[in-house]
Amino acid sequence: MKELAHLFENNRRWAERMQASDPDFFARLSRQQRPEYLWIGCSDSRVPANEIIDLPPGTVFVHRNIANVVHPTDLNLLSVLQYAVEVLQVKHVIVCGHYGCGGVQAALEEQNHGLIDHWLQGIRNIYRDEADKFRNLKDEKARIDRLCELNVRAQVVNVANTPIVQNAWKAGQKLAIHGWIYDLNNGLLQDLQVGIRPPGERLQP
């Protein structure tokens, strides 16, 4: 008996359904991908990129990690970003956080979590640097959710500050960075209005 047979069975049925609705679908995608979007999101299993924006394979280039963090030295993320911007020429980079993020919550806790504490250090710094924004939030959930929003904003800035994006903008490439947040309670996305566009195109912040 095949291990995880139900997953292979799911896959076979899915491939059949896709083929039936669009007979050329796989043949077309196997020739090339032309995604317009790079999605930088959280690894949380409840926030699957393609599904929540209801787009099929071939439309979204995806990078996910715990708490959708953009470290300027993360070779994995930078490689994805470079390929997406320079080769695929995506038009939009979407940094998408989500309320109730376990990574953000861990950054607020006193206890040690091991390696993940290093990963989350930047989020703890945001909490410390923007302490005034939390002073009136007594409820822990409200504090976590506010930090989820501020984290998205900070990671949008980190994407915009990479030499990859700076060079693309200098070369005149149309590339917008967006900051969104997803609500696990109702499945809805919200634009946090913290996006950054190329210099000279800053009418919409």
The site string for Co ion over 49-88 (x = CB under 5 A, - otherwise) reads ----------------------------------------
Q: Cα–Cα distance between 171 and 89 in angstroms, integer?
A: 12
User: How many CA within 13 A on the CB side of residue 113?
Assistant: 15
DSSP state of 181: E
Q: Residues 60, 69, 81, 101: which binds Co ion (CB under 5 A)?
A: 101
Residue among 42 and 177 whose Cβ is closer to Co ion: 42
Q: Where do runs of H (alpha helix) occur along the chain?
A: 5-21, 25-31, 49-52, 75-82, 102-108, 115-119, 121-129, 140-161, 163-170
> Residue 156 carries which side chain, given as an amino acid letter?
V
Active site residues: 42, 44, 46, 98, 101
Closest distance between Co ion and the C-beta of residue 192, in Å? Answer: 15
Region near Co ion per CB under 5 A, out of 40-48, 54-62, 123-131, 158-166: 40-48
Q: How far is the CB of 53 from Co ion (least distance, A)?
A: 17
Q: Is 96 in the site for Co ion (CB under 5 A)?
A: no
Q: Does 144 bind Co ion (CB under 5 A)?
A: no
Q: Is 61 helix (H, G, I), strand (E, B) or coil?
A: strand
User: Does residue 42 interact with Co ion by CB under 5 A?
Assistant: yes
Is 149 a binder of Co ion (CB under 5 A)? no
Say if CB 61 and CB 40 are below 8 A apart.
no
* Residues forming the site for Co ion (CB under 5 A): 42, 44, 101, 103
